Structures are given as C-alpha cells and as structure tokens.
Amino acid sequence: QSVLTQPPSASGTPRQRVTISCSGSRSNIGSNTVSWYQHLPGTAPQLLIFSDNQRPSGVPDRFSGSKSGTSASLAISGLQSEDEAVYYCAAWDDSLSGRWVFGGGTKLTVL
C-alpha cells in the first residue's frame, strides 16, 4: 500500500491529452514539492517533473505538472507511442522520522 495514491492504469490515443493524478496528505504533498518519474521496462526511472511543475532540460514540454492542496497531476499532451510507460509521483513526507514516499505507479497505455 503506497502512501501516495495513483490510478493503476491510464490510456489514450496518439495526439490525445491524458492526465495522471497523485493524491497524498498534508504531511507530504500538502507540505512539500512533488516530482514525477517515467519508468520504461529494463531501465531506471527518469525524472520528468520536479518542484511540482518544473521540467529538467531535455524533457519535452508535452509533459507538465501541477499541484493543488494535497493532490498533484501529470499531464501529457500530444500523446506518442513512446510515452507508454509506468509513471510515478514522489514527495518528501514530514511524518515519523521523515522519509520520501512514492505513488504505486500508473501504467500508461497508448492505444
């Protein structure tokens, strides 16, 4: 059971826009920034979004992040076949001794 809640799956057709949600609580998303990761099979996860809505250099502007209260979202516009992957959200959690927490991951299928 992951601390951050994501839908297990999402899908869309090429060129469509999809969003993936990430729900947390006051001690994590409500107090700290959210990051998003793309995980392709056989590779390490790759940072897509940091500080809620910032893209590292090299990440296409088709990827965008937002946050409101204790929830965050990742949006992918102009969906492409190579976007098919598992997406994770993460945030620091101030509870207990402090720790990083993750969502359970959302498998995105491009139909």
Beta strands at 46-49 and 34-39: parallel, antiparallel or unpaired: antiparallel
Q: Is 53 in the site for other proteins (CB under 8 A)?
A: no
19, 23, 31, 47: which one binds other proteins (CB under 8 A):
47
Q: What is the DSSP string of 31-91?
A: TS-EEEEEE-TTS--EEEEBTTTBPPTTS-TTEEEEEETTEEEEEE-S--GGG-EEEEEEE
Q: Is 100 in the site for other proteins (CB under 8 A)?
A: yes
Nearer to other proteins by Cβ, of 12 and 87: the residue is 87
Given the rule CB under 8 A, which residues bind other proteins?
A: 2, 33, 35, 37, 44-47, 50-51, 56, 88, 90, 96-105
